[in-house]
Structure 1
Amino acid sequence: MSNSTAAAILTTPDLDEALRVVRGLLGVADLDCAEVDFEAEIQSRQGLAEVSRVLPGLNWWAREESDPRSAKAGDDPAECLPVRVHDWCHALQLAEPFVRALGPRDAAAVRWDLNGWPAVPEAGLEDISQKYAYLTLSVNSRDLYQCELAPDHTVYVHVRGEHDLDRVHWLAAQVGGRFEGRTELAPL
């Protein structure tokens, strides 16, 4: 197991702006064999219905650890709200529909597992393999794990560690963002 450093390059109340930045970063990344993972806390029946349309067979369980109800047990998630979602290894094209399906009180982290970040010789940056090449959009939350709920959305780029912040600055500049100085350790 290894860790990456997730660096915030944009926090905005405008979901369209956050998605524009994500699309720009995906245009820079090596997407060969890339996939997307979803983590969320769904609060409402409407949000649950919309997310379930995007991800049929949704992998969920009751939010309270003492509550054993889950998708695996065959329970009805609408009877268990709020529910936690951990649904991994999906095609990239499901990311934006998933984000748009979320309700205004549903917090989520969408993580793109990339094949790599490119080398940028003029900036002195070597390529980074998939081990440290991730991109996360936190929706209605200011952190990677939906602990700090907020009315805005944060885009994070993941790199090897604090010593690789030049790459963060370079990636942010490619999409009109800037490194906000906030980082989180991201166990992978």
Structure 2
Amino acid sequence: MSNSRAAAVLTTPDLAEAIRAVRTLLDIADLHHAEVDFEAVIRSPEVLAQVRQLLPDLNWWAAAGSEHGCSETGEDPADCLPIQVHDWCHPLDLAEPFIGALGPDSAAIRWDLNAWPEVPEAGLALITQKYAYLTLSVNSRDLYQDEPSQDHTIHVHVPDAEHHTARIEWLATQIDGRYTGRLEISPL
């Protein structure tokens, strides 16, 4: 298993601004065969109902542990709140409706891209699918919802920060963000 490095490049309290920035980065990325993954902590029946309208076959387990309920055993997730969601490999057009369904709950929406393209004028080589990801942490500052917040943070993924700082900084400037030096390891 490989790991990417997720670099925080924009944190904002304005979800609409975060979504606009994600769209800008998606316009830069190679989206051939791209998909989106959802990880969330759902705490309320209202949010759960909205998410299940989008993802009726939701992959989840009770935050207290799968022995307290999970999608594999057919239990009603509403009886097991809060729940953790790990639902992967969805079409890109589900990302924004999922974000809209979250309300105050925290999540990480990860776009699995085909590549970060070559940018010759900036001296940037192609980064292939294995390390080309983009994550929006909603109502959280980290990838894993360990730091709930009213902010939303965009992370760009690269193989390692030491050799790809120029890529991180270039992507950050495309969205009027900046690389803060904050990195998280993201298992792939």
> Which position in structure 2 is the counterpart of 1:6?
6
The structure in which a higher percent of residues are helix is: 2
Decide whether the 8 Å contact of 2:68 with 2:80 is kept in 1: no
Secondary structure in 2 aligned to 1:176? coil
> Which position in structure 2 is the counterpart of 1:131?
130
Amino acid at match of 2:145: Q
Distance apart, 1:68 and its partner CA: 3.6
Corresponding pairs, count:
187
Q: For each residue in 1:49-84, what CA deviation from the matched residue of structure 2 results, as whole angstroms up to 9, or x when unmatched?
A: 011111111111111126341111110111111011
CA-based RMSD of the aligned residues comes to 1.0
2-structure distance, mates of 1:122, 1:140: 35
Whether 1:44 aligns to 2:44 is yes
Percent identity at matched positions? Answer: 64
1-structure distance, mates of 2:13, 2:53: 25
Secondary structure in 2 aligned to 1:51? helix
| Aligned residue runs from structure 1 range 6-45, under 5 A | 6-45=6-45
Amino acid at match of 1:41: V
| Aligned residue runs from structure 1 range 1-188, under 5 A | 1-65=1-65, 67-104=67-104, 106-162=105-161, 163-188=163-188
Amino acid at match of 1:154: T
1-structure distance, mates of 2:124, 2:66: 47
Runs (4 or more) in structure 1 with deviation over 4 Å come to none
Distance apart, 1:147 and its partner CA: 0.6
Amino acid at match of 1:146: Q
2-structure distance, mates of 1:11, 1:122: 27
Decide whether the 8 Å contact of 1:44 with 1:103 is kept in 2: no
2-structure distance, mates of 1:68, 1:51: 20
Secondary structure in 1 aligned to 2:93? helix
1-structure distance, mates of 2:33, 2:101: 25
Unaligned runs of 5+ in 2: none
Question: What TM-score, normalized to structure 2?
Answer: 0.97
2-structure distance, mates of 1:13, 1:99: 14
